[in-house]
Chain A
Amino acid sequence: SQQGEEDPQALSIQEGENATMNCSYKTSINNLQWYRQNSGRGLVHLILIRSNEREKHSGRLRVTLDTSKKSSSLLITASRAADTASYFCATDRFGNEKLTFGTGTRLTIIP
């Protein structure tokens, strides 16, 4: 079963704009990760945020985590055509390395 749900399911923006995706999950977590999946390719890890962290940055990526609301957001700034992909959040629980993925947001960057 899917733990998380991403919102929106699909997003189209102009190149150069910022893209924001949200993830909501159901149970208490240890870590939350974001992965990207390009068409026809495997998943690539983007960033990991621990349950005791509220915000994390990596290059053009900014992730926030609100454990009280059981939600996370991924912000991609200054989007590029190469950012076109599906983005998934994935969570794990204390004492269990099993990752549970959300349903994904399909992001399309329009040149």
Chain B
Amino acid sequence: EAGVVQSPRYKIIEKKQPVAFWCNPISGHNTLYWYRQNLGQGPELLIRYENEEAVDDSQLPKDRFSAERLKGVDSTLKIQPAELGDSAVYLCASSPSGWGAGHEQYFGPGTRLTVT
């Protein structure tokens, strides 16, 4: 079974430029998460999708961040414009949805973003 796929693995951009990250979750997983992990810290949730609906985006900085999961499968996270403080690893995770399905999440390898 293929795991969570993310691309690109690394991205270096100048501040004020836009950037986008792509994630393809495990087949059949209806719940998709985007996390940001700063150096030396644990991941922090940015947004959670149930199918194509964003059910928790309270931690997403909406002035510059946006996300979409149009067909309820793969997802894109965008930053426009990027700031120096956005340098971090962006992790995508997925899990089977529904209460009682367990709360284990399956993580992709992440995209390491460096803003210069």
Contact = CB atoms under 8 A, between A and B. Distances in A.
Contacts of A104: 40-42
A97 B48 contact: yes
Interface size class of B (residues with CB under 8 A): 20 to 34
Interface in B16-35: 31, 33
Interface stretch (A42-50, A54-62, A68-76): A42-50
Contact of B108 (A1, A42, A88): A42
A33 interface: yes
Contact of B42 (A2, A45, A97): A2
B109 A33 contact: no
Nearest to B110: A42
Contacts of A101: 42-44
A81 interface: no
Given A48-B102, A103-B42, 20 more contacts: A2-B42, A4-B42, A35-B107, A42-B4, A42-B107, A42-B108, A42-B110, A43-B105, A43-B107, A45-B105, A88-B42, A88-B43, A97-B31, A97-B48, A97-B95, A99-B33, A99-B105, A101-B42, A102-B42, A103-B40
A2 B41 contact: yes
B16 to A, nearest CB: 28
Interface of B: 4, 31, 33, 40-45, 48, 56, 91, 93, 95, 102-110
Interface in A64-111: 88, 90, 92, 97-104
Given A97-B48, A101-B43, A103-B42, A45 B106 contact: yes
